[in-house]
Amino acid sequence: MRTILIITIFLFAQSLLAQELARFKVLTEEDRMDAPVSVSLDGINYNTDQGRLVLYEKTSQGETAIPSQIESGHSARLWFLVKGELKKSTTREFILKREEQEIKASAKVTVAKDDEDLSLTMNDKPILKYRYAVTLPPKEADPLFKRSGYIHPLWSPEGQQLTRIQAPDHYHHYGIWGPWTKTHINGREVDFWNLIKGQGTVKFAGFLSEAEGEVFSGFKALQQHIDFGAAGEDQVAMNEILDVRAWNTGEDIWMIDYTTSLNSPLKNGIMLDAYRYGGGIGWRATEKWNKDNCTVLTSEGKTRLDADGSNARWCLVEGESDTEEGRSGILFLSHPSNRMHPEPMRVWPLDANGGRGDMYFEFVPIRHNDWKLDSKQDYTLKYRMIVFDGKMDAGTAEKFWNSFAANPTIEME
C-alpha cells in the first residue's frame, strides 16, 4: 500500500511539472531569415518556482524542445529563434509547457567585463566590445577628442575587424556610435559630434543591466549627452539608454540589435536640427576599405554612387577581407517605427578623404527635417546589424529585413 501511495504522489508531481500552458501557431506572409519571434506571456505566471517554461515545436516527427527566453517588463514576452529560411505562407506549431528540465542552446553569446570594455563573445569567437572607459586621443590631438560609450572593435564571424576609431582625418569618429551634430537648446547651438568645438560630448554613465540567455545576450547602458555651454555647471541635455542585443544565431553570422532611446530632462527640451550627420547609428569602417574594394547596395537599388541622401529600409555594405571568401560586410536594417522611415542615409562619396574613398555609413533621421524632443518624453530608434563574411544578395537582405520589421502573426489555440 505504501508503494502505491509513493507512486501516486510521484505521478501527481510529474503531472504538475509537465503542465501544458498554451498552444499557438506562427504564420508568416513574407520570406524571413533567422527570425526572432516573440509571444506574449500575459495571463501566464512565468515567475512561479514550480518548474520552468519549456517551448516545443510540433513537427511530423513529434515534439522537439527548443531554446526560449523570457523578457520581462510591462508586458512579458517569450522569445525564440526560427533559424534559417522561413518561407512565406508557412505555418509552424508550438506548445508551451511548464516542466522541470531546462533547454540549453548549442551556441550561446556570453557577456564579460574588464576595467575598460564589456565584451560579447560567441563560443570564444569575439563579436564586439563596448568601450565604457574614457579613450584618450593620440598625443598629437586635442584632449577634447576623448570619448567613452561606443562600440569598437566589431568583428566579422571569421575575425575581421570592421570598425575604426580616431582616424587622423576624423579624430572624433568612434567605431559605431550616434551623437547628434547640430542641435539647439533655448536658441543656443550645441554640437555633441564635433568634439573639437568644445560645446558638448557623450559619455558612459553606467550599466543598467546585463542579460545572458539561451536566445539572446546583451546589455543596457546609460549614456549622457553633456552640454558644456550651460550657465553654471555642465548639464545633461539628453539621457540615452543604449540597448545592445546579440542573438544566438550560431557562428556563421552575427545578428545584433542596436536600440537607442532618448529623453531630455531640460525644461524646454532640445531641437535636433536637420543636417547630413547626426544620431541614428553611425559607422566608421575599417581603414582597409576604400572606393576600389568596397560596395554599397540599398533596398531601393542605390549604390555607392547615389546612396548618399537617399532613403532606405536597409543598406548593405561589403568590402575586401582576409577571409576564405575574400569579403565581409554589414547589413544595416532600419525599423519601420523609426522617425522618417524609410530612413535617410549619409554615405561617403567615392572621392571622400582626398579621393581615397574611405567608407562611412549612417542612418540619419534628421537628414532632411528638424526633430524637436519635448521635455521628459521618450524617443526610440531601432536598428539591426547582420554581420557576415562572404557576399550577400538583395533577396537575402530583404528576408533579414522582414524578420526585423515585424513579428509574424501569432495565432493562439
Q: What is the mean pLDDT of the chain?
A: 94
Give the CATH fold of the 2-103 domain: Immunoglobulin-like (2.60.40)
Cell numbers 587622423 correspond to what residue?
Answer: 168
Separation CA 279–CA 283 (nearest Å) = 11
* pTM (global) more than 0.85: yes
Name which residue leads in pLDDT, 11 or 102. 102
* pLDDT (mean) for 361-366: 98
Is the model's pLDDT at 2 over the cut of 70?
no
Q: What is the mean pLDDT of residues 278-298?
A: 97
Share of the chain above pLDDT 70, in %: 96
* End-to-end Cα spacing for the chain: 41
pLDDT, tens only, 185-205: 999 999 999 999 999 999 999
| Number of Cα atoms under 13 Å in the Cβ half of residue 325 | 16
Residue 244 pLDDT exceeds 60: yes
403: left (phi over 0), alpha (psi -120 to 50) or beta: alpha
d(CA 363, CA 27): 31
Q: Give the per-residue pLDDT at 366.
A: 98
Q: In the prediction, which pLDDT does 17 show?
A: 52
- pLDDT value of residue 53: 94
Note the pLDDT of residue 15: 44
Residue 143's Cβ-side half-sphere holds a number of Cα atoms within 13 Å equal to 0
Instruction: Name 404's Cβ contacts closer than 8 Å, sequence gap at least 6.
Output: 333, 335, 384
State mean pLDDT over 126-136.
Answer: 98
CA distances to 15, 148, 182, 210 from 221, in Å: 42, 12, 24, 9
Same fold, 2-103 and 109-406: no
Is residue 137 over pLDDT 80?
yes
Position 7 scores a pLDDT of 33
The mean pLDDT of 222-231, rounded to a whole number, is: 94
Cβ partners under 8 Å of residue 125, min gap 6 = 155, 157, 159, 251
Cβ proximity of 364 and 279 under 8 Å = yes
- Structural domain spans, the chain: 2-103, 109-406
pLDDT at 318: 98
pLDDT category at 8 given cuts 50, 70, 90 is very low
Q: Give the pLDDT band of residue 48 (cuts 50, 70, 90).
A: confident
pLDDT band at 335 (very low <50, low <70, confident <90, very high): very high
Of the ranges 2-6, 258-262, 406-410, which one carries the lowest mean pLDDT score? 2-6
Asked whether the predicted pLDDT for residue 105 surpasses 90, the reply is no
What is the average pLDDT across 233-254? 97
Q: Is the pLDDT of residue 298 over 90?
A: yes
Question: Tell me, what's the pLDDT at 94?
Answer: 97
Average confidence (pLDDT) over 112-140: 97
Please state the rounded mean pLDDT for residues 97-102.
90
Q: Which architecture, in CATH terms, is 109-406?
A: Distorted Sandwich (2.70)
Mean per-residue pLDDT, 146-170: 98
